[in-house]
Amino acid sequence: MKQLKAWGTDLKVWNNIKSNLNSARVYFLELLIFDLSIAVLTILIFGRIEFSLVLIILLLILSIILLNFLGKKRKSELNEIKQIMNNIRKNFYSFPEEIKLSKNLSNLQEGIKLMFEKTKSDIEDLTRLQKVRSEFLANVSHELRTPIFAIQGYIETLLNGAMNDENVNKYFLEKANQHTLNLNNLLNDLIDISMIESGEMRMSFRYFKIDEYIKILVNEFLPAAKEKDIELVYEAVNPNLQLFGDKERLRQVMVNLIQNAIKYTEKGKIEIKVEEEQKFGKIIIRDTGIGIPQEDLSRIFERFYRVDKARSRAIGGTGLGLAIVKHIIEAHGSKVEVESQIDVGSQFSFRLKK
């Protein structure tokens, strides 16, 4: 029985040595060349083959011992690396500082930490994007349902007898028509933001006279402002001042900001002005409207985000306008700045290059 145990121990030792030598085989060729070089030099120097054979045997024995040691060390390091990689795969670590290797592998440790941080960041980004995508689809579905159901309701009411009632039939048709316009606006905004975010929207940059450009826009909105008894004021700027940008896309920005100012202002005035700076022209749209709560300022440029959901839908907002504004202005190398106080008003501004 003891002899069987001894054989078992010997076999285990032999298997370990074989495993170590197998792990060290990457060094075998270099070590063999070294041994042969020593043997050849010994023969050339001493000229005695017997002495050289003894030396070669000793070198071979020492080489096997060295290979066993190197293999054992290499196998230990590889197992350590494998363990770390398995732990990463199983989400064992929460922070890169938890990844620790032996001193000999310190350089590799830093590389694995960087890889872990990058992988973790990529996973978080994918999770966030999936969440944003799901929320976007849910919002789109909801926004599409609202006008469609309203149109369906008005048409069903007309078909059920209201068609012949002159007191309400025109009212229902006008309401249904308004919802079709809202639906059309929503679809156009969805197409625009999809093209912008996918990089498919082409921009045509050129210099243009900003004074003439804004005067035309203001004249378009004067009737809407007058209808609400709001004063729409434009402070004329140097008529020769030229700014650099895409006129069509900037029109989209200005229309959205002026429309919002009119929608959310019940009394007072809306001011539009251009401040000439050294390298830029700063375009400002200021109103005396209801204002935006401070806690909402950082979120108003998100898709479908509304400060007052019921009010926004009632006056025809799609919830995408400011998101489109933000993307267009960023494509001009600028950003939209917002200042607002409740019951005092809001100011939106951005800069264009001269």
User: Per residue in 165-193, pLDDT tens?
Assistant: 777 778 888 888 887 887 887 788 778 87
pLDDT at 1 over 70: no
Please report the pLDDT score of residue 52 as a whole number. 66
Task: Look at residues 197, 228, 250 and tell me which one is the last residue of a structural domain.
Answer: 197
Q: Inform me whether the pLDDT recorded for 4 exceeds 50.
A: no
* Range among 24-33, 70-79, 194-203, 205-214 with highest mean pLDDT value: 205-214
- What pLDDT was estimated at residue 47? 65
Alpha carbons 163 and 155: distance in angstroms, whole number: 9
Q: pLDDT tier at 148 (50, 70, 90 boundaries)? A: confident
Domain end among 27, 61, 92: 92
Give a yes or no: residue 121 inside a domain: no
Residue 23 lies in a domain: yes
Render pLDDT for 192-206 as a digit per residue (tens, 0 to 9): 877 777 777 788 899
pLDDT tens sequence across 294-311: 888 888 888 777 766 544
Q: What is the CATH number of the domain that holds 237?
A: 3.30.565.10
For residues 217 and 309, membership in a common domain is answered with: yes
Tell which of 179, 197, 215 closes a domain.
197
Please give the pLDDT value at position 298: 84
User: Does 344 share its domain with 252?
Assistant: yes
Q: How confident is the model at residue 211 (pLDDT cuts 50, 70, 90)?
A: very high
Which of 213, 196, 215, 238 lies closest to 323 in space, CA to CA? Answer: 196
Residues 346 and 237 in one domain: yes
As a whole number of angstroms, the distance between CA 136 and CA 152 comes to: 24
Give yes or no for residue 109 having a pLDDT over 70: yes
Q: Which amino acid is at 112?
A: I
Q: How confident is the model at residue 213 (pLDDT cuts 50, 70, 90)?
A: very high
pTM: 0.59
> Both tokens of residue 248?
């069509």
Q: Is residue 128 part of a domain?
A: no
The count of domains in the chain is 3
Alpha helices in 48-92 (DSSP H): 49-89
Average pLDDT over residues 51-66: 74
Residues 220 and 285 in one domain: yes
pLDDT tens digit sequence for 254-283: 999 999 999 899 889 999 999 999 899 999
Position of tokens 């933000």? 326
Q: Please tell me the predicted confidence (pLDDT) of residue 308.
A: 62
CA dihedral 324, 327, 331, 335 (to 10 degrees): 110
Q: 268 and 180: one domain?
A: no
Q: Which domain holds residue 55?
A: 2-92
What confidence score (pLDDT) does residue 5 get?
Answer: 52
Do 186 and 253 lie in one domain? The reply is no
